[in-house]
């Protein structure tokens, strides 16, 4: 294995930063919802007000969300009940994705540069996002309406040779750059290298001169950075900065810095404990001066966070581990949180909180201008109220609220939501409501607050009035720490969870096991669907087992063999006598299907589906003598249309009401139908000769008439390759907003379209057509006038807009002309689909499948550009009629990346349509793509989630089925001719990169392993337990010196939390429900279980092999006690369904040192105990040492074995490579890495006959070493040589070696040859991402590496980051000789597919290859690693 590729299979999900701001809209864009039904509705539901966007980052992923609120209007309640009940007039709220980017660098911190205006509701200005990256890079991003995404407005870099002096000689820094912005948006500060403050000065309102883009978005201006300069904090006599923040209420920006004058440490604390200082500095960005205004000294050493108190109070809160301090220029006060809080001197008075809490590692945000919400390290939410009189704060009051997830960041989103971002659990969007109702219950999980709160009295007046009343209340100062009285004078907050984002991180360990519904007969790629990844993720009460399955394996209800099937359709039958049914949308969603139509080679079967499937082919008037092309419903489901090759039938239930025949325009050609598209009441037919016909329905008589579209047929310029109808549903169709004359259209169209007054006709119908030249045009139906046209649609540009209003650049035209010769046959669109899923704010998607298997996916958006009108008028002058009157001139499409979808080669004769849209399969909307690599595309939060389905191989036909026995399920037919009726597994959640099932453990999982014979998962968990302090202290000393502890009278009666360890043996539930715990092995007190493995040992007395469970432990008793550990062996017998498994301890032995890793080596047990590695043989009752190795590993973190080779990873001393010789019974050191490296995980990588050693470290790198005793630089084989190094950007905690799958070109390779014995490594990280390192052969590697070098310049990178510098080995200041660059980065290569085809050809030519060669290399890599 000399060359490899790194590919991200599952992007990170653990949210590290969150912020909120008006990114995609300005506060003035908010239109308060006016309900025309009742005038006094305002009194019932307080208007929500403008809601800002939510910005989250997870490692290198940046996402911007919009909060969508569904009002509690009564009439327009959505079909599915919203999460969390009705609260404050809101029925529900959800997060909808605006844009998502994978950056080339991990985001260290996020700030929002606000656009100024104090009165946020009136301003037409938008905010910008400021991101900071490792060492000292700052990017400012703003939302650009013309591309419906983010663009970089400025970049500031303070690293590299010219800025070396900023580091002051230091090499490594504890944290990356920290950004804080001024609340009024005048400037922002970034702390880099611990000592340098970079001030970013905002541009004055009005934007930069000569910049046309600033005023692009409908007249709103975005905040921008004008210039930056550096303040050296040493000049201000500031060092050891802990935090800083901009405070409210000053004319100039004022920066408050929390820093430590002189450092202290645990041994000095009795003498030196109040070492922190805050200094307030006024920032004058024009004069670049920063005088000190005020400061406060003698703050505790454990102060770590500042919070700026909002206007009108002003000032700053300092959060310490045991106290909270308030300071402003004029006043200060302190709140002690527990017994450890000590005043600096006797003159300081401290008020005590009514309960004891520790606040280290808390996150906080403001719910109102005097209530802050703190989230503690145990996940409790606390409310801190500032009791104030005017601007003077008199005291701080802390009260407990709900318990919730462990947060990594928390932000308020507008006036009624906050977002809890979490790395350790799912992140939550919570709505809060401030009422004067009853006090909150103290200990409810946030997730469990169900039901509505109608009893809460809603404040009719504005909250500031209510605040005045409470502050002027004379009794306020009388309340002491009595909780109940204090509560009644405070505001009470009620919370309800509105939405959550799934997180599977941090992945500490995972194991690879069989799924419950695995198919033992599967072969090839389908076999991968038998496996799942069981991961330890989360921490504390958010601890969970995450079961990840990359491919969907449906739950089969029944299956039947039907050879030669060509197509499937299910249709509804609604009785025409009852037209009033239409209005009930809820009933329509739940209606059962009536018939299933199956098209075979030369006949058609009809089955009735109301309850069981029964064939009724003989008793119906369907056309059954030949194959069916299409079947569907018309006229609001009152009629069925069945289209066959020469004609069509309209049926009412089982009876035919009309029969249509298609005659050819020229009689000698046998013209038949090739594809059909329906949009009630129109049916579009495409014929085999490339002409199209439209059937127009008359809803009053339920009959159809043929419209041959003669005018259109004569005018079209080239042959049609694909076409579809798009029905823009709803009372306000989405596409109408795209033509500027929208206000003219609205009132009229309903009157025209519904002749019989039935409401189902609302909306417009459009026809989307693609020609052989690659042009795409949209026509309105039934007039067939062109409203939108795009040249060269098939070339896959990133953004497309109407040709009439955009001049296409000449060079791209020329390039496309040249390339058209050699690849015109591939760039043909063979199938089109356009669809808008249910939801008032959803935007349509447009899909096109090209002849080479590429899928183009576009998402529509609106952009009213200033240039749209001017270009239109020029054209109008020349043309006879006025074409721009009804053009969709504001409609734009942006291309969506489908990099997780593996394309397939389409055979020429395969003309079966592959896209099947569905509104509800198992509760999810989306579409299914049939073919040789069937895939589910689910539309969740306006984002496409792509999940392959591998288990049945190619799928020919698919349709949905909803009846009594199959609830919102589906039917499909495989290439082998078996028809399966299935449902989606309900236990999995599909709104994730891979489908996932989370099994809550309410404890921290540490390690998991798979017991294959018994299908059990033993895992180590630890539960925090509170114990009396003296009991804990007594375990921390040797027994003989126990009497020496004199009990301090101070705190020996307190409690202390310790982790108690146990090994749980879990069994997967066959029905997909929660897993059962089949057995528990508890550890002794203060004994930590460190490793659990299933080992196969050969019993030397009976000569048989036994499979046992081995556990390695260590006693953690402080530094005064010598380290000890135990090796435990258990035999596990699986019980019956209900009973527990019997776990019997076979052996236990105490050893010196911690037992941190165990492994089975050829029937022997290899144990890493502290500094020794000992090999034991198993006699059936005893372990006895056979060989040992005494290298100086300090602590072995991982142990891998292949044949008789051993790979050891040490916490500090890098890796050791050993071999075991049985005849001399000795462990020999073959080679080691002489550098120092803090290992996280190791594994062998096998490529044919080559063995390489993989290691990941604490700087988020991976390295590949190899053993070459013949090479001179290896010092006669003592030294491992580096083969590759790569910066993954996340801590890789576990490697899993899996055999790569055969791809198309490997079928010829003989079994046992190099090509088949090729393995890839999956790696799990602490961010919740899963990557894959796969070997490549040299030719492919060289090709992809030269492509990678080209793409660095060819692709615009978000936030201006350089992918090459991100993937450099990070040594954090240690000496490191750079290794060879022999890993290609698929994160960068996946951008190749998103380039327009002209650019793809151009780049391929430059590196001397072809586009198809590159695509097939990337495809092979994706196929070879399509695990799970």
Q: Residue written as tokens 């119906």?
A: 620
Tally of CB atoms within 10 A around 1413: 13
For 1299, 1301, 1320, the CA distances from 1246, given in Å and listed in that order, are 9, 14, 8
Tally of CB atoms within 10 A around 649: 20
Angle between helices 810-823 and 1397-1406 (to 10 degrees): 70
CA–CA distance, 1 with 1319 (Å, rounded to integer): 10
Burial of 144 (0-12, 13-18, 19+ CB in 10 A): middle
CA–CA distance, 1095 with 1097 (Å, rounded to integer): 6
Q: 33: helix, coil or strand? A: coil
Q: 580: helix, coil or strand? A: helix
CA–CA distance, 125 with 223 (Å, rounded to integer): 7
Alpha helices in 1301-1410 (DSSP H): 1338-1354, 1363-1366, 1386-1389, 1397-1406
Nearest Cα to Cα of residue 325 among 258, 391, 382, 381 = 258
Nearest Cα to Cα of residue 398 among 465, 311, 323 = 323
Which DSSP symbol is given to 403? E
Q: Residue written as tokens 């028809």?
A: 979
Strand spans (E) along 1214-1279: 1215-1221, 1226-1232, 1239-1247, 1250-1257, 1261-1266
Q: In sequence order, which residues have a C-beta less than 8 Å from that of residue 1227 and are 6 or more positions away?
A: 1173, 1175, 1187, 1188, 1189, 1206, 1218, 1219, 1220
Q: Residue written as tokens 């929390």?
A: 258
pLDDT on residue 866: 58
Q: Residue written as tokens 């005659």?
A: 663
Residue 861 near residue 96 (C-beta atoms within 8 A): no
| DSSP codes, 1182-1225 | -EEEEEEE----SSEEEEEEETTEEEEEESSB-EEEEEEETTTT
| C-alpha 1066 chain-centroid distance | 28
pLDDT on residue 31: 59
CA angle 1306, 1312, 1316 (to 5 degrees): 35
Tally of CB atoms within 10 A around 572: 17
Length, in residues, of the chain: 1428
Q: 324: helix, coil or strand? A: strand
Nearest Cα to Cα of residue 92 among 499, 500, 586 = 499
Residue 47 near residue 33 (C-beta atoms within 8 A): yes
Q: In sequence order, which residues have a C-beta less than 8 Å from that of residue 1264 and are 6 or more positions away?
A: 1, 4, 1245, 1252, 1253, 1254, 1282, 1283, 1284, 1285, 1383
Q: Considering Cα of 1336, then 1338, then 1343, then 1344, what sign does the dihedral take?
A: positive
Which DSSP symbol is given to 260? E
CA–CA distance, 161 with 296 (Å, rounded to integer): 38
Q: What are the structure tokens assigned to 1407, written together? A: 């590196």
Burial of 1050 (0-12, 13-18, 19+ CB in 10 A): exposed
pLDDT averaged per 10 residues in sequence order, the chain, 1428 residues: 89 95 84 44 50 94 92 44 62 90 95 72 78 94 91 93 90 91 93 93 62 46 89 91 94 94 89 92 91 92 94 92 92 89 78 89 92 92 90 88 90 92 93 64 34 25 28 28 39 87 92 85 81 92 92 90 90 63 53 90 88 84 89 88 89 87 59 85 86 86 82 76 85 74 39 36 81 89 86 88 63 45 64 86 90 89 65 36 64 87 64 85 91 91 91 90 89 91 91 92 94 91 88 69 47 75 90 83 92 94 92 89 92 80 91 93 92 91 91 87 94 93 90 92 92 94 94 90 94 94 56 69 94 94 95 92 93 85 93 92 94 91 88
CA–CA distance, 1048 with 1053 (Å, rounded to integer): 10
Q: What are the structure tokens assigned to 253, written together? A: 């920006």
pLDDT on residue 266: 87
């Amino acid at each position: 294995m000399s060359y490899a590729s790194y590919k991200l299979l599952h992007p990170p999900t653990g949210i590290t930063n969150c912020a909120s701001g008006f990114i995609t809209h300005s506060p003035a864009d908010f239109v308060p919802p006016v309900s025309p039904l009742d005038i006094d509705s305002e009194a019932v539901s307080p208007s929500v007000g403008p809601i800002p966007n939510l910005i989250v980052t997870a490692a290198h992923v940046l996402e911007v969300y919009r909060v969508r609120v569904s009002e509690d209007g009564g009439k327009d309640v959505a079909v599915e009940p919203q999460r969390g009940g009705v609260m404050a007039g809101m029925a529900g709220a959800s997060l909808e994705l605006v844009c998502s980017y994978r950056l080339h660098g991990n985001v260290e911190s996020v700030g929002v540069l606000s656009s100024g205006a104090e009165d946020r509701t009136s301003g037409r200005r938008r905010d910008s996002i400021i991101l900071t990256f490792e060492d000292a890079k700052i990017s400012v991003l703003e939302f650009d309406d013309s591309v419906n995404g983010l663009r970089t407005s400025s970049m500031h870099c303070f690293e590299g040779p010219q800025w070396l002096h900023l580091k002051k000689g230091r090499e490594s820094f504890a944290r990356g750059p920290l950004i804080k912005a001024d609340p009024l948006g005048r400037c922002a500060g970034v702390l880099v290298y611990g000592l340098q403050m970079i001030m970013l000065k905002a541009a004055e309102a009005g934007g930069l001169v000569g910049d046309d883009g600033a005023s692009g978005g409908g007249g709103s201006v975005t905040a921008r950075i004008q210039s930056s300069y550096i303040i050296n904090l040493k000049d201000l006599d500031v060092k050891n900065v802990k935090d800083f923040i901009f405070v409210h209420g000053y004319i100039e920006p004022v920066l408050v810095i929390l820093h430590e004058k002189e450092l202290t440490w645990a041994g000095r604390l009795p003498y030196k404990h109040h070492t922190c200082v805050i200094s307030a500095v006024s920032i004058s960005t024009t004069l670049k001066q920063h005088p000190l205004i005020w400061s406060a000294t003698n703050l505790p050493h454990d102060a770590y966070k500042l919070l700026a108190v909002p206007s009108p109070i002003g000032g700053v809160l300092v959060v310490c581990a045991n106290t909270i301090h308030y300071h402003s220029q004029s006043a200060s006060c302190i709140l002690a949180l527990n017994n450890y809080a000590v005043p600096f001197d006797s003159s300081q008075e401290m008020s005590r909180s009514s309960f004891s809490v520790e606040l280290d590692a808390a996150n906080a945000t403001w719910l109102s201008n005097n209530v802050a919400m703190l989230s503690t390290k145990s996940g409790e939410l606390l409310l801190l109220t500032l009791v104030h009189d005017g601007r003077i704060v008199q005291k701080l009051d802390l009260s407990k609220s709900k318990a919730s997830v462990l947060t990594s960041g928390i932000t308020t989103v507008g006036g009624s939501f906050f977002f809890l971002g979490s790395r350790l659990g799912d992140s939550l969007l919570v709505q809060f409501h401030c009422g004067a109702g009853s006090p909150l219950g103290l200990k409810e999980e946030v997730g469990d607050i169900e039901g509505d709160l109608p009893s809460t009295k809603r404040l009719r007046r504005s909250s500031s009035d209510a605040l005045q009343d409470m502050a002027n209340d004379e009794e306020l100062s009388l309340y002491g720490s009595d909780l109940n009285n204090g509560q009644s004078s405070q505001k009470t907050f009620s919370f309800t969870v509105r939405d959550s984002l799934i997180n599977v991180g941090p992945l500490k360990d995972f194991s690879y096991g069989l799924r419950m519904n695995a198919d033992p007969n599967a072969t090839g790629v389908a076999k991968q669907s038998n496996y799942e990844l069981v991961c330890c993720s989360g921490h504390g009460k958010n601890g969970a087992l995450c079961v990840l399955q990359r491919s969907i394996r449906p739950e089969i209800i029944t299956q039947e063999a039907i050879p030669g099937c060509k197509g499937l359709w299910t249709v509804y039958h609604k009785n025409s006598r009852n037209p009033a049914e239409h209005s009930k949308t809820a009933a329509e969603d739940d209606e059962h299907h009536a018939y299933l139509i199956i098209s075979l080679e030369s006949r058609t079967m009809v089955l009735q589906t109301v309850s069981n499937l029964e064939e009724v082919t003989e008793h119906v008037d369907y056309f059954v003598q030949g194959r069916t092309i299409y079947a569907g419903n018309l006229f609001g489901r009152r009629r069925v249309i069945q289209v066959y090759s020469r004609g069509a039938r309209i049926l009412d239930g089982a009876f035919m009401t009309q029969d249509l025949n298609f005659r050819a325009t020229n009689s000698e050609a046998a013209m038949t139908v090739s594809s059909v598209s329906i949009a009630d009441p129109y049916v579009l037919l495409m014929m085999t000769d490339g002409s199209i016909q439209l059937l127009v329905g008359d809803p009053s008589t339920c009959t159809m008439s043929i419209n041959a579209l003669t005018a259109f047929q004569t005018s079209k310029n080239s042959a049609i390759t694909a076409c579809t109808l798009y029905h823009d549903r709803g009372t306000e169709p989405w596409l109408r907003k795209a033509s500027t004359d929208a206000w003219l259209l609205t009132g009229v169209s309903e009157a025209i379209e519904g002749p019989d007054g039935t409401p189902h006709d609302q909306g417009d119908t459009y026809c989307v057509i693609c020609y052989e030249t690659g042009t795409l045009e949209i026509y309105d139906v039934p007039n067939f006038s062109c409203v939108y046209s795009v040249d060269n649609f098939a070339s896959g540009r990133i953004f497309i807009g109407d040709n009439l209003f955009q001049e296409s650049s000449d060079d791209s035209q020329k390039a496309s002309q040249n390339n058209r010769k050699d690849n015109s046959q591939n760039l043909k669109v063979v199938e089109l689909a356009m669809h808008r899923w249910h939801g008032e704010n959803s935007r349509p998607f447009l899909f096109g499948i090209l002849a080479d298997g590429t899928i183009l996916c576009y998402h529509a958006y609106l952009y009213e550009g200033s240039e749209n009108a001017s270009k239109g008028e020029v054209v109008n002058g020349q043309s006879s009629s006025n074409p721009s009157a009804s053009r969709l001139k504001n409609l734009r499409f942006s291309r969506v990346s489908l990099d997780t979808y593996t394309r397939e080669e389409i055979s020429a004769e395969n003309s079966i349509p592959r896209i099947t849209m569905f509104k509800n399969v198992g509760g999810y909307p989306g579409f299914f793509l049939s073919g040789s690599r069937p895939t589910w595309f689910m539309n969740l939060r306006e984002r496409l989630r792509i999940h392959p389905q591998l288990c049945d191989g190619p799928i020919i036909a698919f349709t949905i089925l909803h009846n009594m026995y199959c609830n919102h399920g589906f039917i499909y037919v495989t290439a082998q001719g078996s028809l399966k009726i299935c449902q989606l597994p309900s236990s999995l959640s599909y709104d994730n990169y891979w489908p996932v099932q989370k099994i809550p453990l309410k404890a921290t999982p540490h390690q998991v392993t798979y017991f294959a014979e018994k299908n059990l998962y033993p895992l180590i968990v630890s539960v925090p337990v509170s114990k009396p302090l003296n009991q804990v202290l007594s375990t921390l000393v040797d027994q003989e010196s126990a009497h020496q502890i004199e009990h301090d009278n101070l705190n020996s009666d307190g409690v202390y939390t310790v982790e108690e360890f146990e090994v749980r043996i879990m069994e997967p539930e066959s029905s997909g429900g929660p897993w059962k715990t089949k057995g528990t092995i508890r550890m002794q007190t203060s004994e930590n279980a460190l490793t659990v493995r299933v080992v196969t040992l050969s019993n030397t007395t009976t000569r048989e092999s036994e499979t046992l469970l081995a556990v390695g432990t260590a006693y953690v008793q402080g530094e005064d006690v010598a380290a000890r550990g135990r090796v435990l062996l258990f035999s596990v017998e699986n019980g019956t369904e209900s009973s527990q498994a019997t776990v019997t301890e076979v052996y236990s032995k105490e050893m010196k040192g911690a037992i941190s890793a165990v492994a089975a080596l050829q029937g022997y047990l290899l144990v890493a105990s502290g500094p020794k590695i000992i090999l034991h043989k198993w006699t059936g009752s005893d372990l006895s040492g056979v060989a040992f190795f005494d290298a100086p590993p300090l602590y072995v973190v991982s142990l891998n074995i292949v044949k008789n080779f051993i790979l050891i990873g040490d916490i500090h001393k890098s890796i050791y490579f050993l071999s075991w010789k049985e005849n001399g019974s000795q462990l020999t050191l073959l080679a080691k890495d002489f550098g120092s490296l803090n290992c996280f995980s190791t594994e062998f990588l096998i490529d044919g006959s080559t063995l390489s050693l993989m290691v990941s470290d604490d700087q988020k790198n991976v390295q590949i070493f190899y053993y070459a005793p013949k090479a001179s630089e290896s010092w006669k084989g003592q030294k491992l040589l580096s083969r590759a190094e790569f910066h993954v950007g996340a801590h890789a905690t576990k490697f899993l070696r899996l055999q790569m799958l055969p791809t198309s070109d490997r079928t010829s390779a003989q079994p046992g040859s190099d090509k088949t014995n090729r393995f890839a490594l999956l790696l799990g990280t602490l961010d919740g991402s899963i990557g894959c390192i796969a070997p490549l052969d040299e030719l492919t590697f060289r090709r992809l590496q030269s492509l990678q070098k080209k793409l660095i310049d060819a692709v615009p990178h978000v936030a201006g980051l350089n992918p090459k510098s991100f993937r450099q080995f990070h040594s954090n200041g240690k000496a490191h000789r750079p290794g060879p660059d022999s890993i290609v980065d698929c994160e960068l290569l996946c951008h190749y597919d998103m380039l327009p085809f002209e650019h793809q050809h151009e780049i391929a030519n430059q590196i001397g290859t072809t586009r198809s060669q590159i695509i097939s290399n990337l495809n092979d890599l994706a196929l070879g690693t399509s695990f799970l």
